[in-house]
Amino acid sequence: MLAFAGIGVASAGDDAAAQKPVAVDQLPEGQEVSDTVIALAGWVVAARDSEGYPFAVMDKAAAQVLVFGGDGRLRGAAPALFGSAIGDHTAPGIAGLALREIPGRDRTTPAGRFIGGFGPSIDAGRVLWVDYDSSVSLHPTATGVPSEKRAERLASPSPDDNRISHGCINVSPGFYEQVIQPTFERGGVFYILPETASLAETFPEFAQSRVTAERKNGKRAQSARR
């Protein structure tokens, strides 16, 4: 899976690249990364959309988080827990509600491009905010409510049971400490793929780049047949 880590950022013969540490791979054995995730990560680097800051691409459907450094190199990939409700919206006023007050239908992890970083919270100390306005953070799993079995869900090889949070993204404590915390110490950009909205609506510039590339490839194919 981690073979796509280069995504055109550095050549195989680059001496500096050879000295880079190997990316942390915690994804279940045999679990694939979607073509959309790979394409989006490549576009972020090529278009410099993260402006040199580290970034993460999150796939709710596959329950995956992939983390990249400011140089575009893959730092790690791991399973994650996301909001229990299917959807890409953020309910108005949700940031002012206690967790128990959030309706089940609004326990979503919103989709889109977010600029985040570490900051204080009311009840959890210093946290990594993905989107402060909607109170969505990325944090390690905690014991919390034992009946939710968050650690067990995270360890499961299937993404089908990874929808349990109130909207925040949870990763294993080890992955958080080894990859997330050091990578985003000075902030970064977070790209969360949609599951009900379209790519064109969520990431219009990325979607347009794919259309343009497909048209160019189509013209090349037509020329080859002449």
Q: Please state, in angstroms and rounded to a whole number, the distance separating the CA atoms of residues 59 and 217.
A: 27
* Amino acid at position 97, single letter: L
- pLDDT tens-digit map of 186-215: 999 999 999 999 999 999 999 999 988 877
pLDDT at 161 over 80: yes
CATH number, domain with residue 135: 2.40.440.10
Rounded Cα gap, residues 91 and 105, in angstroms:
9
Give the tens place of pLDDT for each residue, 67-109: 999 999 999 999 999 999 999 988 776 666 667 767 667 789 9
Q: Which residues contact 37 (CB under 8 A, 6 or more apart)?
A: 57, 59, 62, 64, 66, 193
Tell me how far apart the alpha carbons of residues 76 and 37 are, in angstroms, rounded to a whole number.
14
Q: Compute the mean pLDDT over every residue in the chain, rounded to the nearest whole number.
A: 85
* Residues pairing with 126 in the sheet: 120
The total number of structural domains in the chain stands at 1
β 74-79/24-25 pair status: parallel
For residue range 3-41, list pLDDT tens digits in order: 444 444 433 344 444 456 689 999 998 899 999 999 999
Element (H, E) at 106: none
Please name the residues in contact with 4: beta carbons below 8 A apart, sequence gap of 6 or more. Answer: 33, 38, 41, 74
Residues 6+ apart with CB under 8 A from 70: 50, 52, 53, 54
Q: Which residues lie below 8 Å from residue 113, measured CB to CB, with a gap of 6+?
A: 49, 189, 190, 191, 203
Rounded Cα gap, residues 91 and 223, in angstroms: 50
Closest of 173, 200, 168 to residue 90, by C-alpha: 168
- Give the domain range for residue 59: 2-225
Return the H-helix or E-strand segment holding 193. none
